[in-house]
Structure 1
Amino acid sequence: MDTEVLVVGAGPTGMTLTNELLLAGVPAVLADRLPQRSDLSKAGGVQSRTLEAFDQRGLLKPLLDNGNYPTSAGHFAGVPFSPEHAGHRLPWRSVPQVVIEGFLERHLAAQGLHVRRDHELIGLAQDEDGVTATFAGGTTVRCRYLVAADGAHSTVRSLLRAGFPGKAGTATVIAADVRLSGADQVMSHTWNDDGDWVALFALGTDPQGRELRRLVVGGPGRSVPRDVPITEEEIRDGLRRVYGSRVELLELRYARRITNAARQVEHYRHGRVFLAGDAAHVHLPLGAQGMNTGIQDALNLGWKLGGAVHGWAPGDLLDTYHSERHLVGAAVLRNVQAQSLLMDWAGTRDPEVLAAKELFAAMTRLPEVQRHLGDLLSGMAITYPMPGSGSHPLVGRAAPDADLGPVRAHELLRSGRGVLIDPGDRFAKVADLWPDRVDRAGQGADTEPMLIRPDGYVCWAGDPDDLEAALGRWFGAPR
């Protein structure tokens, strides 16, 4: 083998996965077809669950130290909800994707791993022992596993001929990074009576301290083919139709047309090849759910590949990547399609849609509805199916950040290993059977006993009789 794992695609998904592999002590190669990293912001928001995951790896503080990235309120179909109702430890942040990519690439380089750029994949073949990937120019890489994180138009997915069912795009809107005047004086989601609409999101400031915003413009007559060039006048016209002269375009950084296509691969695993991020699911970029879902794909898969490479993974551990993440991806597609309908994406001003949105907006004023939507869109509502791990309410959920005295629970996950929180000091004997995979902590702490997977999800809590089975289920046979 040239390497244990080849990751194709150096976006947030691919770089997060590569970092997880390095943390697990797995040799990896990260390749990307682009000669240099894109300077397009693309996504612009980081969910609470993703922030927690970065914090669990010790990456959050250095990421946020790079600039001014404000907390932000979420929205569902353009109806905003207040972040304080969610009650999450870490509220949403507006951190552009380009910033995240730059930070992760520098972090990997500091560990000695550099992205192999200008590497265009043109072929792959797998057998019982591994995968052979062929790049333009004749270079080949032999690996034990390959992960496709190469985006919505994934070459790996095409080479696999993987089914990608769903809905084709029927309309386009403009998404742009801009500097505006007057934006602080208007609502972030605004429609006019003709169906034209504008959405605004803060992106923080540039190195000169100037405020940047993500601008989305849609409405009747604005749905044109994606390859039609976008002009400044087209954007100014959209602003005038909705805001009149109150908001003006000062600078256009970049713009692209996006569609309402919604697709998901049928299988996230194809033998020794795995699909993650936009290679596995595409949808409208509402709430940056595409980027965040891709990062969560990587966090779910990375430690499992580590277990497989090191030889301790149970036989079906890699299969749980599909069974867990396909459900999450499908749920994201459903909520995005619901938002598209309620937003009146195409600007039809259909009276039935307007009536449904009016009723929905009234319901979102209820604190319990805001909490539900906040959990849904922030990744905090995820509950993985974990048969054999007990029925405690914590099982399958993101672990609470318990106070363990000298440290908090999230700090213990920086090793990339599992954590057994043992406040009663009862489980030393059983934990000692997995010393190379699970750390024991929290003796004397005022919290519930629980077993946490390396990706931060609880895989056992409650009945002591179930602990040893859960350890075997997720961490393999005892040493």
Structure 2
Amino acid sequence: MDTDVLIAGAGPTGLTVANELRLAGAAAVVVDKLPRGSDLSKAGGVQSRTQEAFDQRGLLEPLLATGEHPAGLAHFGGIHLPLTRDRHRFPWRSIPQVVVERFLEEHLAGQGIHVRRDHELTGLEQDTDGVTASFADGTAIRARYLVAADGGRSTVRSLLRAGFPGQAGTSTVIAADLRLGGAEQTMIHRWNDEGDWAHLFPLGTDPQGRPLLRLAMGGPGRARPRDVPITEDEIRDGLRAVFGLEVQLLELRYARRITNAARQAAQYRHGRVFLAGDAAHVHLPLGAQGMNTGIQDALNLGWKLGAAVRGHAADGLLDSYHAERHPVGAAVLRNVQAQSLLMDWEGTRAPEVTATRELFTALAQLPQVQYQLDDMLSGMGIRYALPGVEGQPLAGLPAPDLDLDLDPGPARVNELLRSGRGLLLDPAGVFAKVAGLWSGRVDRVVGGTEPMLVRPDGYVGWAGGADSTGDGLEAAFGRWFGEPR
């Protein structure tokens, strides 16, 4: 073996997998076919759950220190959700994907993991022991496992001939990063009577401190093939159709055409190869859910692969990646398709679309509706259907970031997860014996209000009440952390 895990793709998903493997003590090689990192902003923000996960690895504070990243307002199909602004410890922030990529790549380089660029993967073979990937330059890499994080047009997925069912793109719209004069630095979604529309939201500032905006724009007769170049005149014409003379194009940073295709891999695992991020699911870029879902895929998969490499993964642990993440990806595709309908993506101005949006806008004024949508969009409402913990209110949910009064000093749950190991909260101090059997993989602290076993990815794998005797705890240890030492 040349390495434990080969990761194809150096976007946020692949880089996050590499960091998780590093924490787990597994070797990883990251390859990418591009000669250098992309300059395109792509996704525009980092959701609450992803920020919480970065905090659990000690990465959030240095990421926020990379520039001005203002907190934003959640929306669903362009409908504001103002009541959700302060619901979570970490609000949605405008951090473009290019910033996340550069930050993660630099972080890994500081740990001795450097992306191997100009590595175009052309062949793939696997057997009972590992995977062999061949490249255009004639070289090959042998690994125990391979993670395909190589985007929506994944070469690995094609080589596997993996099913990628869903909806083909029926139209294109423009996505662009730009500076505008006269535009408010807030989220705006607007149509004209002919169905032309524009969606704006802030991206923070450029190196000179000037505010940047992301624009999505479309309408009847504005769809073009994806490879047709976008001109400044085309941008100006679309802006004029929606805003008149209210705004002026000052600078066009980049623009591309995107489609409303929505597809999801039928299986995320193919023997020793795993699909993650856009290689596993593609959809319209609404709410940066593609990047955030991909990072969450990586967090779910990384520690499980690490356990398999180290030889203590329980039977079924690697299969739980598909079981837990495929339903999440499917739910994201559904909410994106619902949002595209509410936004009238194709600019039909059909009466039934307008009526649906008016009704939904009225319903979205209800606090409970806003909270439900926010939980879905932010990732904070994700709940994995875990075996053996039915009826436990916290099991399968992200662990609450409790403030714990410990000896020698206070700490938060997120801080205790930075080792990449599991965590057992033992308020009454009664589970030392069982926890000791997994002491090399799980940290135990006497603190909290009720006992819970937290997996390395920050999700609760078992939870007992305040008076729990530990029923099911040992089985949960074995399920997530393998055989005791």
State the TM-score, normalizing by the size of structure 2: 0.97
Give the Cα separation in 1 of the matches to 2:133 and 2:139.
8
Q: Report the equivalent of 1:382.
A: 382
Q: Report the equivalent of 1:292.
A: 292
Q: Tell me the alpha carbon deviations over residues 438-467 of structure 1, each in whole angstroms, 9 at most, x when there is no partner.
A: 0001x2x34221100000000000151111
Please list, as runs of the form range in 1=range in 2, the aligned pairs for 1:3-402 lying within 5 A after superposition: 3-82=3-82, 84=84, 87-184=87-184, 188-402=188-402
Give the Cα separation in 2 of the matches to 1:187 and 1:374.
16
Give the Cα separation in 2 of the matches to 1:186 and 1:324.
35
Q: Given that residues 219 and 347 in structure 1 are in contact (C-alpha distance below 8 angstroms), is that contact kept between their aligned partners in structure 2?
A: yes
Identical amino acids, percent of aligned pairs: 71
Instruction: Tell me whether 345-354 or 86-95 shows the greater mean CA deviation.
Output: 86-95
SS of residue in 2 equivalent to 1:104: helix
Give the Cα separation in 2 of the matches to 1:106 and 1:194.
47
Q: Tell me the alpha carbon deviations over residues 233-276 of structure 1, each in whole angstroms, 9 at most, x when there is no partner.
A: 11111111111111111000000000000000000000000000
Give the Cα separation in 2 of the matches to 1:38 and 1:410.
31
Relative to structure 1, the CA distance from residue 426 to residue 211 in structure 2 (aligned partners, 3 Å threshold; closer, same or farther) is: same
Structure 1: gaps (5+ residues) = none
Q: Report the equivalent of 1:476.
A: 482
Q: Report the equivalent of 1:437.
A: 441
Give the Cα separation in 1 of the matches to 2:277 and 2:397.
21
Instruction: Tell me whether 408-417 or 182-191 shows the greater mean CA deviation.
Output: 182-191
Q: Report the equivalent of 1:426.
A: 430
Relative to structure 1, the CA distance from residue 436 to residue 390 in structure 2 (aligned partners, 3 Å threshold; closer, same or farther) is: farther
Relative to structure 1, the CA distance from residue 179 to residue 353 in structure 2 (aligned partners, 3 Å threshold; closer, same or farther) is: same
Shift of 1:391: 2.1
Matched residues, number: 477
Which amino acid in structure 1 is aligned with residue 454 of structure 2? I
SS of residue in 2 equivalent to 1:303: helix
Give the Cα separation in 2 of the matches to 1:187 and 1:311.
49
Relative to structure 1, the CA distance from residue 466 to residue 185 in structure 2 (aligned partners, 3 Å threshold; closer, same or farther) is: closer
SS of residue in 2 equivalent to 1:316: coil
SS of residue in 1 equivalent to 2:404: coil
SS of residue in 1 equivalent to 2:471: helix
Relative to structure 1, the CA distance from residue 55 to residue 186 in structure 2 (aligned partners, 3 Å threshold; closer, same or farther) is: closer
Give the Cα separation in 1 of the matches to 2:69 and 2:43.
14
Give the Cα separation in 2 of the matches to 1:6 and 1:171.
35
SS of residue in 2 equivalent to 1:465: coil
Which amino acid in structure 2 is aligned with residue 438 of structure 1? V
Give the Cα separation in 2 of the matches to 1:166 and 1:26.
35
Give the Cα separation in 1 of the matches to 2:480 and 2:379.
22
Give the Cα separation in 1 of the matches to 2:172 and 2:393.
42
Q: Given that residues 84 and 370 in structure 2 are in contact (C-alpha distance below 8 angstroms), is that contact kept between their aligned partners in structure 1?
A: no
SS of residue in 2 equivalent to 1:242: helix
Determine if the alignment matches structure 1 residue 452 to structure 2 residue 454.
Answer: yes
Shift of 1:89: 1.4
SS of residue in 2 equivalent to 1:50: helix
Which amino acid in structure 2 is aligned with residue 469 of structure 1? A
Give the Cα separation in 1 of the matches to 2:394 and 2:448.
16
SS of residue in 1 equivalent to 2:287: helix
Give the Cα separation in 2 of the matches to 1:54 and 1:460.
22
SS of residue in 2 equivalent to 1:4: strand
Q: Given that residues 176 and 252 in structure 1 are in contact (C-alpha distance below 8 angstroms), is that contact kept between their aligned partners in structure 2?
A: yes
Q: Tell me the alpha carbon deviations over residues 16-50 of structure 1, each in whole angstroms, 9 at most, x when there is no partner.
A: 11011111110110000000001000000111000
Shift of 1:389: 2.8
Give the Cα separation in 2 of the matches to 1:136 and 1:243.
48
SS of residue in 1 equivalent to 2:316: coil
Give the Cα separation in 2 of the matches to 1:86 and 1:12.
26
Give the Cα separation in 2 of the matches to 1:101 and 1:271.
28
Q: Report the equivalent of 1:403.
A: 403
Q: Given that residues 86 and 371 in structure 1 are in contact (C-alpha distance below 8 angstroms), is that contact kept between their aligned partners in structure 2?
A: no
Give the Cα separation in 2 of the matches to 1:390 and 1:125.
40
SS of residue in 1 equivalent to 2:381: coil
Give the Cα separation in 2 of the matches to 1:86 and 1:133.
46
Q: Tell me the alpha carbon deviations over residues 340-372 of structure 1, each in whole angstroms, 9 at most, x when there is no partner.
A: 111110000000010010000001111111101
Relative to structure 1, the CA distance from residue 186 to residue 315 in structure 2 (aligned partners, 3 Å threshold; closer, same or farther) is: closer
Q: Tell me the alpha carbon deviations over residues 285-343 of structure 1, each in whole angstroms, 9 at most, x when there is no partner.
A: 00000000000000000000011000110011000000000000000000011111111
Determine if the alignment matches structure 1 residue 461 to structure 2 residue 467.
Answer: no
Relative to structure 1, the CA distance from residue 84 to residue 186 in structure 2 (aligned partners, 3 Å threshold; closer, same or farther) is: closer
Which amino acid in structure 1 is aligned with residue 455 of structure 2? R
Give the Cα separation in 2 of the matches to 1:379 and 1:24.
24
Give the Cα separation in 2 of the matches to 1:207 and 1:343.
32
Shift of 1:84: 3.6
Give the Cα separation in 2 of the matches to 1:94 and 1:222.
28
Q: Tell me the alpha carbon deviations over residues 141-198 of structure 1, each in whole angstroms, 9 at most, x when there is no partner.
A: 0000000000000000000000000000001100000011111188611111111111
Which amino acid in structure 2 is aligned with residue 345 of structure 1? W
Shift of 1:85: 5.4
State the TM-score, normalizing by the size of structure 1: 0.98
Give the Cα separation in 1 of the matches to 2:222 and 2:192.
14
Q: Given that residues 85 and 367 in structure 1 are in contact (C-alpha distance below 8 angstroms), is that contact kept between their aligned partners in structure 2?
A: no
Q: Given that residues 178 and 249 in structure 1 are in contact (C-alpha distance below 8 angstroms), is that contact kept between their aligned partners in structure 2?
A: yes
Give the Cα separation in 1 of the matches to 2:96 and 2:185.
23
Give the Cα separation in 2 of the matches to 1:111 and 1:446.
33
Q: Given that residues 186 and 202 in structure 2 are in contact (C-alpha distance below 8 angstroms), is that contact kept between their aligned partners in structure 1?
A: no
